[in-house]
Amino acid sequence: MLSGSPFSLVNEMLEAPGVLRRFDSNAVAGWTKTIAAKGRLMITGEGSSRIFPAKNAIDLAMRSGSALHICTEGARQAAEYDLSKYVVVAASNSGRTRELIGLFEKLAAAKIPRFGITATAGSRLTELVDECRVLSCGVERAVASSKTVLEQALFCQSLLGGDEWKNQSRAAGYCEEVLGITVAPEITGFIQSAPLVYFSGRNNGVAEELTLKANEIARKKSAYLEGTYALHGIEEVMRKGEALVLIEPFREEVEKYKAILKEGVGLNVVAIASFDTPFPTIKIPALDGFNGYLQLMAGWNVLVAAGIAAGVNLDKPERARKVGNAV
């Protein structure tokens, strides 16, 4: 991915490592006291503002053995639950996402502790929360969210109080390296020519977020295959020429992916991984606490390369909107 691109999306992606480098991991220290007292946290939002930020935080909490109970749902589903024993944190770039505002009006009436993260100062969300943080990265011009997703994820991660922040600068450097990787024409061709692109990975928000980004950036139909879902029956309807992107695949199952999906179905399989695989692979560094960001940015790189090769306007999809469902 090259700097000086005519596309805002590319330039905003390239700003992301700097956002990580400058992020203040103590910015929401006051929130953590309220969360610790409750012991339960619901992270909500819609689309890219929730998928990676919330699920990355949950993944890191589980890996660290945190006693904090964290869950995530979209705002409409969260509104159906009893959240009286929770602290609720929401992210919305616009601060006026319809589903989210409806939930937070309900939470405000019930006086349930609630905090917000937004790119838009003075938005409706800021009026409904106990406290709000405005993203330092600024508002994006491209429809597809990138640097805001990263900063929202950093805020959610900082609620966990982990010790990985000592590697923050190193992580930012690795992110720059990943965004600077030249994507092999073979990989770009597989994505560009595929009628459908599958993304397979852990339930940590990376593969799921890239599934959405494939629609917005590369204009590709896509499907998210959680965990090892790809090995449990979907091969029946997969077709030769479709593409599968494996995100840091489970080492124990790599040969199964090869035998069943590449050789059996005829899928064009590629990987984003910190180790060598039998497939065309974008090899990336590994760093505890920041692996999700590195994997996500490698995926951005692949999708941008495919989109540019296809000649699409990366900044402006024909139908997708920056604010999907606004008040």
CATH topology match: 8-162 vs 172-310:
yes
Strands, DSSP E only, in 205-306?
222-226, 243-247, 268-273, 281-283
Query: Quick one: pLDDT band at residue 316, thresholds 50, 70, 90?
Result: confident
Q: What CATH number matches the domain at 8-162, 3.10.50.30, 3.40.50.10490, 3.40.50.300, 1.10.3470.10?
A: 3.40.50.10490
Q: Amino acid letter at 135?
A: L
Dist. CA 305–CA 234, nearest whole Å: 28
Q: Where are the domains of the chain?
A: 8-162, 172-310
How many Å is the Cα radius of gyration of the chain? Answer: 19
* pTM score: 0.96
Closest CA to 307 of 244, 219, 243: 219
We find that the CATH architecture of domain 172-310 is 3-Layer(aba) Sandwich (3.40)
Q: Is the pLDDT of residue 324 over 80?
A: no
| Cβ–Cβ under 8 Å, residues 300 and 146 | yes
Q: Tokens for 282?
A: 């974008």
- Helix/strand/coil percentages in the chain, nearest 5: 45, 15, 35
State the average pLDDT over residues 127-144: 95
Percent of the chain with pLDDT over 90: 93
Q: What is the pLDDT of residues 23-50, one digit of tens each?
A: 999 999 999 999 999 999 999 999 999 9
The two structure tokens encoding residue 82: 């009893």
